[in-house]
A and B are shown apart, each in its own frame.
Chain A
């Protein structure tokens, strides 16, 4: 699918990204044998870097693959991702600065340290740490799965695309693990800056170019989408999905800052003030997410994009497995929502 220019661009950015990841070890040098230097970048991230790092957490396979594809396949319900951002940040404004204060005072590096000290229980701390690790596994798995989806589109039409993308995934994961091991959070923070610049460039150019390339722009795309009768509504959300919409964004917002990587990003801020301001500005990041989500509708305005999509099996197009939640037993949201998701076929059966 990619032309020569596409591949050259891809490899150039890939090289820069890998360089930044390893260069992180030397950046704002600290003794990386100390856990807080490695895991929290020495707690030295200012407003901008903390904003980039935490904001980049919002931009994953979930943003680029799950939300637009959910909007494409199921309609307005997918826009829960927007209130989700606002609500999450309101919660973080309240809680994360308090956790930051305590952590600086008493040297906590993870949520488990806090729990151990606060409740004086090693068992509880151990359980919190284990829950964090277990919760990250499906999270990481869906990043890999999202990458696989992207690679498949990049190589659509090539022979042995499946094998190549499997190998590419393994290589990508090894590089990531290697630079995380040598550079710690510094590598991720530098990578996040590059990633964010690319994301913003991508979002802004897509949201300008795509509507312009469709005759009639958004109006056309929305009216064609309306003809497809997406199950949760196109121009508005069907009222019956109100409970689903709200319970999904409330449940997700309560969950996000329980993930170890979100706690970790927050604690790496250089001051409580830097964390408070960077957190306050995070909803701006959500605007890009909302624009990307709309691409799920814009697809309907482009016959060539629809044709490309039709070459992939329907089950690949909108999957709950890309959503940023722990596995079903831990999943927030109402029972009604779960059963709806299941019965409507939105839930992907295991392959």
Chain B
């Protein structure tokens, strides 16, 4: 983790935590409607958040790797 600025570390931590907080704050998705193609909100919204997680994690990975390569580490 050395080599990253504090701003980068905080950004990475926030990006990784967003999905975790979303899934733990359970009332956020425990609804039946609106439905998507007949699938209740509970199911499709949680699934959609997997895609959102992948985007957030990838952004975190880019920031992380850039920070480290700037420092001249591998």
Output the nearest chain B residue to A81 by Cβ-Cβ distance: B46
Do the beta carbons of A287 and B51 come within 8 Å of each other?
yes
A291 sits at the interface (CB 8 A): yes
Chain A window 223-266, contacts with chain B (Cβ cutoff 8 Å), 1 for yes, 0 for no: 00000000000011101001001100110000000000000000
Chain A window 203-226, contacts with chain B (Cβ cutoff 8 Å), 1 for yes, 0 for no: 000000001000011111110000
Do the beta carbons of A222 and B39 come within 8 Å of each other?
yes
What is the size category of the interface that chain A forms with chain B?
A: 35 or more
Output the nearest chain B residue to A290 by Cβ-Cβ distance: B47
Give A187 to B71 CA distance when docked, in angstroms.
37
A306 sits at the interface (CB 8 A): no
Please tell me which one of the listed residues A83, A236, A284 contacts residue B54 in the complex, with CB atoms under 8 A apart.
A284
Residues of B9-64 at the interface with A, using a CB-CB cut-off of 8 Å, are: 16-17, 19-20, 23-24, 26, 30-32, 35, 37-43, 46-47, 49-51, 53-54, 57-58, 60-61, 64
Give A246 to B20 CA distance when docked, in angstroms.
11
Main SS at interface, chain B: helix
- A230 → chain B closest CB, angstroms: 13
Chain A window 78-99, contacts with chain B (Cβ cutoff 8 Å), 1 for yes, 0 for no: 0100110111011001100110
Can you give 28 contacting A-B residue pairs, CB < 8 Å? A76-B42, A79-B43, A82-B46, A82-B50, A83-B23, A85-B50, A86-B19, A87-B23, A90-B17, A90-B53, A211-B38, A217-B37, A218-B39, A220-B38, A236-B30, A236-B41, A237-B30, A249-B23, A250-B24, A271-B74, A273-B65, A283-B51, A283-B53, A283-B57, A286-B50, A287-B50, A290-B43, A294-B43
